[in-house]
Structure 1
């Protein structure tokens, strides 16, 4: 989703993975407070996909769980309640600011079985081998520049027979609440289409793509489920406020626009999303998640 490219006069643009990582970290440092504040909406919106992810990863009483790209930790707490006092959850993320919210949420909930660690999503090979029974990642894997390296590290941290499950967006066509804003910003900012292999919200959404990526990483017994996950808020304006405050990458895409151009862009986005306001009242933004899982 973030447009981090390098171009030379004699060569086509190439994806700069390291700059993407730096930009991603900066985005989440900036958006951490808002992402945490919108936690109740995230819980409602992603609740069914989260439960499917934890089920497919076999997260149960006493389990040791690795939560990759945990963010503000809403799903971390759900996992921690599942595993109970005999279990343990380690939440990792590239952003220390957002992990502070995860830590505070666990303390406020009285969950002593949660720890946090600042860690790049591609460096779980630094953890002790076979130290977790299950690993999960909710809307994180899609943004890793080297998804195979990330999966190799996660697989390293899992015990033999341990399960990994990830939530990702399906295709842009099935997620217009997000795809419409991305398309409008891309047009207004005159951004090129994503390069092959470039991370982004819909990078694993194509038919069979998620399963293939998991199998390529060495996971077996791979399965993928579709989960209908509509975004329900009072109005289209509220959805735009959620995206404007929490989706830092949308701001990065608009970095080259003036303040007036950005304001006009958000207005166009709100007009486009207004089609999902229902006659009975309320905004229902179409969204479909995929939950993929496999065994080490």
Structure 2
């Protein structure tokens, strides 16, 4: 792997391990919030009871652990770069009584599995952070059995996701946040319609379908929204670490004002939009 890609991977591994405590704290909330996206992906996978499934960049275990409850006579391999995130997934599995799963710390661009191992592959909100997205897609297809299905989800364009753009707009107004180069890993890197679908086709995925999923992040209050975002949203946490208390309070006040302007009911039920892309690997002709 090229040195630059390796550097990005190691930075991301460090970041997600660092933020694992916040994700553990907010796991019930984030699981409920992102459930509609996971359900759309699971529907696209057309799972059978005996399927062996790979869930890539699964973080704290979703949708892999939910899939495990469907493939009762099969198994799910849950992978992530960050061991501390997978620790949360294992604790959740124990609490839920889910045993037909394994975890593996690995890089999507170097999956430690044989060709044609899995009946299905899932990846929720991981693709936009992969250093080389085409390489990642090709690796997923490599380990997928002929006729097997793949489903992934990414965030849609910024205008569809005020849950993150609201706070980031106030941060960018008050702090000098570096602008990443075009195409660099980031939240909205895959937000353009058709972008990920085209990557899948290049990687050998057929019958590619794309569907938008929309919903609400139901925080209940501005205070809860602020606490959540400043504890689990990596770009927010990184930017705010450079702010003194006065600037943080100024940003907080501006964020609350923006939310009240967008959502005057004071419930902070903030819109999100995602894109689910799915397809299947070509059947073997031999």
1:174 aligns with 2:170: no
Give the deviation of 1:141 after TM superposition.
Answer: 0.9
Per-residue deviation, 1:102: 0.6
Q: How far apart, CA to CA, are the structure 1 residues paired with 2:69 and 2:216?
A: 25
CA contact (8 A) 2:26 2:228 kept: yes
Q: Residue 112 of structure 1: which of 99, 119, 138 is its match?
A: 99
* Aligned-residue offset at 1:178: 0.8
Partner of 2:279: 294
Equivalent residue number for residue 31 of structure 2: 43
> 1:183 and 1:273, CA in 2 relative to 1: closer, same or farther beyond 3 A?
same
Q: Equivalent residue for 2:115?
A: 129
8 A contact 1:276–1:283 mirrored in 2: no
Distance in 2, matches of 1:16 and 1:274, equals: 42
State whether residues 108 and 136 of structure 2, in contact with CA within 8 Å, keep that contact through their aligned partners in structure 1.
yes
Deviations 1:183-202 (A, max 9, x none): 33334333343322111111
Alpha-carbon deviation of 1:31? 1.4
Q: Which residue is 2:135 aligned to? A: 149
CA RMSD of aligned residues (A): 2.0
1:163-204 CA-partner distances (Å, limit 9, x unpaired): 111111110011111122233333433334332211111111
TM-score normalised by the chain length of structure 1:
0.87
Q: How does 1:97-246 map to 2 (within 5 A)?
A: 97-124=84-111, 126-246=112-232
Q: Give 1:256 deviation, angstroms.
A: 4.2
- Cα 1:18–1:182 change in 2 (3 A) is farther
Q: Does 1:56 align with 2:15?
A: no
Q: How big is each residue's C-alpha offset from its partner over 1:63-118, in whole Å with a ceiling of 9 and x where there is no partner?
A: 1110111111142221111111x110000001101101111111221111011011
| Partner SS state of residue 103, structure 1 | helix
- How much has 1:270 moved relative to structure 2? 3.2
Q: How far is 1:16 from its partner?
A: 4.8
Query: Cα 1:277–1:193, aligned 2, differ >3 Å: closer, same or farther?
Result: same
CA 1:213–1:187: 2 relative to 1, 3 Å = farther
1: CA distance between counterparts of 2:10 and 2:246? 27
- CA distance in 1 between counterparts of 2:223 and 2:151 reads 33
**TM-score relative to the length of structure 2:** 0.90
> Is the contact between residue 38 and residue 62 of structure 2 (CA under 8 Å) also seen in structure 1?
no
Aligned CA distance change for structure 1 residues 59 and 276 (closer, same or farther; 3 Å)? farther
Give the deviation of 1:222 after TM superposition.
Answer: 0.3
Change (3 A) 1:59 1:175: same
Q: Distance in 2 between matches of 1:275 and 1:236?
A: 12
How many positions carry a matched residue from both structures?
279
Unpaired runs of 5+ in structure 2? 282-286
